[in-house]
Amino acid sequence: MKNSAEIWDLVEQRRVPYVALADQVFDTPEIAYTERRSVEAHLAQMEAEGFRITRDLAGIPTAVMGEAGADGPVIAILGEYDALPALGQEPGVAEPRPTTQFDGAGHGCGHNLLGSAALMAAAAVKDWLERTGTPGRIRYYGCPAEEGGAAKTFMVRAGLFDDVDAAISWHPSDYNGVFEANSLANTRIDFTFTGRASHAAAAPDLGRSALDAVELMNVGVNYMREHMPDGARVHYAYLDAGGIAPNVVQAKATVRQLVRAQTNRELLDLVARVRKIAQGAALMTETTVSEEVVSAVSNLLGNTVLDRLMQAHMDRLGPVFYDDADRAFAQAIRSTLTPTHISETFRRLQRPLDPDLPLCDFVVPLGAALPGGQGSTDVGDVSWAVPTVQAWVATCAIGTPFHSWQLTAQGKSPVAHKGMELAAKIMAATAQDLISDSAALTAAKEEHRLALKREPYVCPLPPEVNPPIPKG
Ligand SMILES: [Zn+2]
């Protein structure tokens, strides 16, 4: 492991412009595939840093890449900048104050920090490569639509990681620790039933209800729940309930099923069963059913070599230093959470409950975090393409749930900015090691090769599915 003081310094020097970048993205929240202002802000920063820029990756207007350096290994640092619908919230206040600007979207998952720290880290590595003349290339991948779009799966499918040696990322959290492989594979599929309209009172016998079919499908899926593998999940949303007239038999209705499982294989099995249920519902109601896969992601493939390397950097850097104002705001946020929210973090990290600790003052050791309670991430598909490692870094009060107004409220706080800088230092130092220590990189790649030999990667997206980029 190298002496990282120089690269930490190169991160620290960038504090002002990168806090400004994170705040700018926070202030103009944009949801999946519409991140035009956010990507412009990132591009401006990439240009200012002197990266070689490629736009429209995988045909997606808000996916970009910046590269620096020459020859040597290629290390990718992944960033995101998408927001979530209905999570707009005034920052810096510890009570729900929804915003209506930008259709009410908000950074309820901290991706304004995610992208900014990733570019900050890549820029520090770029400077170090230039100063030392070390052979090696650093790339920043600006990845859109993590939430609900899973753009990285499309980016992997387009071959954008084919010449990359390893990938590094992070995610905001309420604690510090390596993000060990623990995420679910998932797919979103829209099932559309088509029946026959009819007057619901005068001629109900002539109608065939698509809405009935959707309801029966959901009943079938609910009965399947008891017989799913551990950790699998299915949830649904009505995209089209067939209209607003109860006196018309609904001729068309669409339900989105989101199926999750611990591995790609389990996901494929479960999706096959969900499809049978859809066919059963169509048979029962004499309707027809068609389907459209909207997105898909793989589970994360871990890499113990990279995990250990990143852990060493996290241990050396330690947690962030907080002041009284940081603790006071975190405490105010925590007063809006339930005791279960707060105890859950300690339970999952297998630590004694400290209900009075507002902010994370520790680094979790490898292997300490219990599996479960996880969602999905489209970093999953990158992790099958190249050895990948990620950090969780504290940016909010302990117990803050993802996708909550409380997380948005903390998105521009000093705690968030400090966590962002720590994340950038961890990622930059890890990248520096991988570029300068060929033994570590070779070991990481060998572990990855063996994992793929055991279970080859199959892209979970059907070939005909393309990113749902809105027009205009
Ligand atoms: Zn997220």
pLDDT per residue over 348-386, tens digit each? 999 999 999 999 999 999 999 887 667 889 999 999 999
What whole-number distance in Å separates Cα of residue 24 and Cα of residue 9? 24
* Strand (E) or helix (H) holding 186: strand 185-194
CATH number corresponding to 185-297: 3.30.70.360
The amino acid occupying position 119 is L
pLDDT < 50: residue spans in the chain: none
Distance (Å) from CA 73 to ligand 1 centroid: 28
Q: In the chain, what are the domain boundaries?
A: 6-183+300-454, 185-297
Q: Identify the pLDDT of residue 1.
A: 64
The amino acid occupying position 425 is K
Distance (Å) from CA 59 to ligand 1 centroid: 23
CB-CB neighbours of 471 under 10 Å: 3
Two tokens at 98?
């929804």
Distance (Å) from CA 176 to ligand 1 centroid: 15
Distance (Å) from CA 112 to ligand 1 centroid: 10
What whole-number distance in Å separates Cα of residue 287 and Cα of residue 279? 9
Two tokens at 53?
């820029």
Phi and psi for 239 in degrees, rounded to 5? -85, -30
Cα-based distances in Å from 345 to 89, 339, 418: 24, 11, 20
What whole-number distance in Å separates Cα of residue 380 and Cα of residue 95? 34
- Are the C-beta atoms of residues 43 and 64 closer than 8 Å to each other? yes
Name the pTM for this structure: 0.93
What whole-number distance in Å separates Cα of residue 277 and Cα of residue 287? 13
Determine how β-strand 252-261 pairs with β-strand 233-240.
Answer: antiparallel
Distance (Å) from CA 379 to ligand 1 centroid: 10
Report, in angstroms and rounded to the nearest whole number, the Rg of the chain calculated over CA atoms.
23
- Are the C-beta atoms of residues 117 and 170 closer than 8 Å to each other? yes
Beta-carbon contacts of residue 118 (< 8 Å; ≥ 6 apart): 77, 78, 79, 80, 140, 169, 170, 424, 427
What whole-number distance in Å separates Cα of residue 196 and Cα of residue 85? 34
Distance (Å) from CA 171 to ligand 1 centroid: 7
Distance (Å) from CA 443 to ligand 1 centroid: 29
Q: Identify the pLDDT of residue 407.
A: 98
Determine how β-strand 74-80 pairs with β-strand 166-173.
Answer: parallel
CB-CB neighbours of 87 under 10 Å: 23
Distance (Å) from CA 253 to ligand 1 centroid: 30
Two tokens at 452?
């793929």
Q: Which CATH number fits domain 6-183+300-454: 3.90.320.10, 3.30.1050.10, 3.40.630.10, 1.10.1370.30?
A: 3.40.630.10
What whole-number distance in Å separates Cα of residue 160 and Cα of residue 153? 10
Please state the separation of Cα 140 from the chain's center in Å: 16
- Are the C-beta atoms of residues 43 and 53 closer than 8 Å to each other? yes
Distance (Å) from CA 111 to ligand 1 centroid: 6
- Nearest alpha-carbon partner for 151 in 29, 217, 61, 223: 61
Distance (Å) from CA 113 to ligand 1 centroid: 10
Distance (Å) from CA 109 to ligand 1 centroid: 5
Beta-carbon contacts of residue 356 (< 8 Å; ≥ 6 apart): none
415-452 per-position pLDDT tens digit: 999 999 999 999 999 999 999 999 999 999 999 999 99
Distance (Å) from CA 223 to ligand 1 centroid: 30
- Are the C-beta atoms of residues 34 and 83 closer than 8 Å to each other? no
Two tokens at 167?
């990938």
- Are the C-beta atoms of residues 58 and 153 closer than 8 Å to each other? no
